Structure 1
Amino acid sequence: MSGEETVTAAVLVIGDEILSGRTPDRNINYIAAHMTSIGIRLREVRVVADDEREIVDAVNALRARYTYLITTGGIGPTHDDITADAIAKALGVPIDHDPRAVELLEAYFVRRGVTSTPARMRMARIPHGAELIANPVSVAPGFMIDNVIVLAGVPDVMQVMLDDVTARLRTGAKMLTETIKLSRPEGDVADLFAAHQQAFPDVAMGSYPSFADGRISTQLVLRSTDSEMLERARQGLMAQLNSRGMV
């Protein structure tokens, strides 16, 4: 399993409303969990304002560094929804009303009895060469061009778009997790845990303390794509914890 490809991703959250604190982000955790479940490692998250230059710079930096770049936000009908234009500029391609998106939106507006205005049709502007990402919730599509995946910022819409695009993505070895729960503070096990990490450098390890109902506890989490190595690391750690009466 250790020979499988490592597939990575970054998330670029776009929107003044996130940076101002007016709107809490609800997408990062969902995307991270989804990526982990399909064998893609989320390595970085950035948040940028609705500023074309900042978006372009971030897109070009992240798409070069990771297998995939996922963006959220900024593909709606208003003047400050500039993500599609910024993506087109970053990749050096034209952008215009895409006939496929126009057809989807016009049919949707007819069904709802809504007037097709220039503002609403902004959501049909797609960079040339992009694949559309389906949006069963409100029809206006996302898109994928090169290794950049452009999704809506509204969580319910983002989630169905992510589901649609998943089948097109390369995936790698899935990350496996083992958790050991201790009714002890983190400091009691810190030295032992650090030494165990050195013994198993290819197994990611982390400790997560918590305090609930007046009790301190710590979770020791081990992660690896290699199931056999992960099990050896878990068994070795349990043996040491047992020998010291910690479990």
Structure 2
Amino acid sequence: MAKRRTLSPARHTRRMTTAHAAATVTDNAEETPSTESQQVLALGSLLKEPKTDNQEVQHFRREIVADRKRMEALLDQRAQQAQEAETRRRSELASTIREALTTPNRNIEGEAPTFYGTIIAEHLSYVPVANVLASSSALLQEYERLDKVSTDMRDEQAGPVTETWHQELQEAERQLQMGARVALRNVQKVLGVNVESIERIDTGGEGDGQDELNYELHKSLRYAERGVRRMVKGLPDDED
């Protein structure tokens, strides 16, 4: 028979430790599937059940409703205050306009109306006052335009406007007088009047303007001159 080998204490201890570790791993491997399945089941139950309490949700909803009502009441109060302030301003403006349009020397009989709760655009005096204001604005604009035109004309001219106008008037009068004298002299030449004696009388006269001819006389003289010339052209030539 073969002899059995006797193991040393160290080798025996190492073999026992290895066997125990293998048994432990085997037990853990058998327990792992069961633990994972339990976790999955617990997660499903947690997902099905709500995490918050119903009482907290109801309390939060009540707070939201109360805050909403409080904000709506505050907004209504502010809107009412703004409407009252606007009505008061309109009443004051209407009263001021009526006071301005009233004759100062005539007292208002009875209580002075303030047009409380009315719109100024619906008042009877609104349209006439608006038309007066528009006309006044247009009148001021036209005045400014004319003032600018007169200023530009004054800057362009060296002398005053009245002085320039008088000079132009005198120049036109002088030219008319010269034209009248020339026309009269031509007519007198055609009629055979002694022009030199008349010119001496004109230059040596008193110069009171009695010999000056008006426009109608000038026209008549021109027509007479034309007629005389035609008559002279129609006369036969004298033969010696």
- Verify same fold: TM over 0.5: no
Normalising by structure 1, what TM-score? 0.16
Normalising by structure 2, what TM-score? 0.17
Higher normalized strand content (fraction of residues): 1
The structure with the larger Rg is 2
- Greater length-normalized contact order (CA 8 Å, ≥ 6 residues apart): 1
